[in-house]
Chain A
Amino acid sequence: MDSLRFCNPKTIKEDNAIELLIDIVLLSFLVCIAFAIVRMKDLFAVIMLAGMYGLLSASFFVTMDAVDVAFTEASVGAGISTLLMLTTISMTGRYENTTRHRPMLALVVVFVTGSLLIYGTLDMPYFGSAQAPIQLHVAPHYINNSMSEIGIPNIVTSALASYRGFDTFGEVVVIFTAGVAVWALLMVNVQRRKNTEIDDANNSTHEQHFIVRFVAKMLIPFILLFALYVQFHGDYGPGGGFQAGVIFAAAIILYSMVFGLNTARRVISQPIVQLLTAAGVLLYGSVGIVSLLSGGNFLDYNVLSADPIAGQHLGILLIELGVGCTVASVMILIYFNFSGRKNDRELEEHKETT
């Protein structure tokens, strides 16, 4: 066991004192924010804190060398999730009740579980140890052989799209299913209302914010371009379909926030977004089927081209495209449905009062 405990405090002090300090400070901030979230009753403040929590954990992932993960967490945790929660509380109310469900019993359960878990950590190999079991099994194969087997520098992309392509296919299907479920739950009949009625309401609120509209118009092309860069440069640097999809969706969501949902629906029609949601999953699946038909295993890209490395490149490009397509359109679909539901209810309330 002791041989696993690789780092001794001497090396900590000399080599990575700064890294360790940043690590401890970031993690302590996370704990402070988590306790603040427990204490606060105002859900608006809680959601803002949750956004900060997302951004801080993204910074933490950067210090842990997980650049791809940090990228995703920054766009999801600090961006999209904050936005969806804000839209939700605008419909469900801003303050939570002060009553707690058996707080003492909950505290006891939490303390007992927590102590057992901490007791469990005492046997773990120390943080950063190169001899820990996790570092000795599959990872060395990926690190040593991915360049000759897959031929792209970003090992995370090699593992995500090729070695563990089947896993990723499952994840994409889960995202697709969640998107369809949200759509089924919140679907409003878009045709039911005359567009002019909603446009009037939108124009009155959106015309006031000239600076916001101007800045958004300037930024959106660059955000879209950046999303495409992340999509197609994912083989060589941090990035790939998941991050690109979320960033692309963020640009469209920004547009529909600033210019109104109906204007956005005129630019990007919802039926096309729904079609793209399924198209991404189908593209991913068909790459698998094609490799089956060409005599390989499911999602074995070596057979896609005469040269195995070229086949891997082609396969990864296609499935990343499928992932990007599905993720972006599911995020857009989710936002459209949340925001459409909100508009619909506001209109109904407006009608009831007049």
Chain B
Amino acid sequence: MDAGNDWAAAFFGLYNYWIVVVLMMVGFYIVIAHGNLIKKIIGLTIFQTSVFIYYISMGNVDGGTAPILADNISQYSNPLPHVLILTAIVVGIATTALGLALAIRIKESYGTIEEEIIQGMDNPG
């Protein structure tokens, strides 16, 4: 009985982190296996979001509430990960836009955004 409870506790206690790992690996796979630059950028966003989910999950406290001070509330979730991730999201979109802008310029110069074709054009033969 105790062993079963331990397993359930481990599953529910670590489920969020496992999902984070799966999402991170999906993003990682897209970045290394796909040749299309836009798809790679989307892979990077998935990777990035998995880190956000990781931080926010760690900051959560059972029975806590949003970290805005109010009367009659004693337990708050950890505000520090929220601060870090909030700014990271906006920095993330700014850098994603930079990546997309580079992709547009690559398309204009090479006529394609498929990595292998671009490499073939750079190193002919």
Query: Could you list which residues of chain A lie within 8 angstroms of chain B, going by C-beta atoms?
Result: 5-12, 15-16, 20, 23-24, 27-28, 30-31, 34-35, 37-38, 43, 46-47, 50, 53-54, 57, 60-61, 64-69, 72-73, 76-77, 80-81, 84-85, 88-89, 91-93, 96-97, 99-103, 106-107, 109-111, 113-114, 117-118, 121-122, 124, 126-130, 132, 134-135, 138-139, 142-143, 146-147, 153-156, 159-160, 164, 167-168, 171, 174-175, 178-179, 181-182, 185-186, 236-238, 240, 242, 245-246, 327, 330-331, 334, 337-338, 341, 345
**Known pairs A60-B53, A181-B101, A185-B102; A76 contacts B62 (CB<8 A):** no
Kindly state the separation between the CA atoms of A106 and B29 in the bound complex, as whole angstroms.
6
Are B42 and A76 in contact (CB-based, < 8 A)? no
List B89-109 residues whose CB lies under 8 Å from chain A. Answer: 89-98, 100-105, 107-108
Kindly state the separation between the CA atoms of A66 and B93 in the bound complex, as whole angstroms.
19
6 contacts between A and B (CB under 8 A): A66-B77, A77-B89, A114-B24, A127-B13, A160-B87, A182-B97
Are A334 and B91 in contact (CB-based, < 8 A)? no
A110 — which chain B residues lie within 8 A by C-beta? 25, 28-29, 32
List B3-60 residues whose CB lies under 8 Å from chain A. Answer: 5, 8-10, 12-19, 21-30, 32-39, 41-42, 45-46, 49, 52-53, 56-60
Are B46 and A168 in contact (CB-based, < 8 A)? no
**Known pairs A126-B13, A153-B70, A238-B66; A101 contacts B97 (CB<8 A):** no
A34 — which chain B residues lie within 8 A by C-beta? 22-23, 26-27, 46
Kindly state the separation between the CA atoms of A179 and B30 in the bound complex, as whole angstroms.
26
- From residue A6, how far is it (CB to closest CB) to chain B in Å? 7
* Pair count A-B, CB < 8 A: 321
Instruction: Identify which of A35, A97, A103 contacts B36 (C-beta below 8 A).
Output: A97
Kindly state the separation between the CA atoms of A129 and B69 in the bound complex, as whole angstroms.
21
Are A69 and B53 in contact (CB-based, < 8 A)? no
- From residue B44, how far is it (CB to closest CB) to chain A in Å? 11
Are A38 and B30 in contact (CB-based, < 8 A)? yes
Residue of B nearest to A235 (CB): B68
A130 — which chain B residues lie within 8 A by C-beta? 61-62, 64, 75
The count of chain B contact residues (Cβ–Cβ below 8 Å) is 90
Instruction: Identify which of A10, A38, A109, A240 contacts B26 (C-beta below 8 A).
Output: A38
Interface-central residue, B16, B70, B89, by most chain A CB under 10 Å:
B89
- From residue A104, how far is it (CB to closest CB) to chain B in Å? 9
Chief secondary structure at chain B's binding surface: helix
Query: Could you list which residues of chain B lie within 8 angstroms of chain A, going by C-beta atoms?
Result: 5, 8-10, 12-19, 21-30, 32-39, 41-42, 45-46, 49, 52-53, 56-70, 75-98, 100-105, 107-108, 112-117
A126 — which chain B residues lie within 8 A by C-beta? 9-10, 12-14
- From residue A157, how far is it (CB to closest CB) to chain B in Å? 9
Kindly state the separation between the CA atoms of A47 and B70 in the bound complex, as whole angstroms.
40
Kindly state the separation between the CA atoms of A309 and B89 in the bound complex, as whole angstroms.
29
- From residue A336, how far is it (CB to closest CB) to chain B in Å? 12
B103 — which chain A residues lie within 8 A by C-beta? 88, 92
Instruction: Identify which of A30, A185, A330, A345 contacts B19 (C-beta below 8 A).
Output: A30
Are B100 and A64 in contact (CB-based, < 8 A)? no
**Known pairs A43-B36, A68-B86; A15 contacts B63 (CB<8 A):** yes
Are A114 and B101 in contact (CB-based, < 8 A)? no
Kindly state the separation between the CA atoms of A102 and B116 in the bound complex, as whole angstroms.
12
- From residue A347, how far is it (CB to closest CB) to chain B in Å? 14
Are B101 and A182 in contact (CB-based, < 8 A)? yes
B97 — which chain A residues lie within 8 A by C-beta? 84, 178, 182, 334, 338
Residue of B nearest to A43 (CB): B38
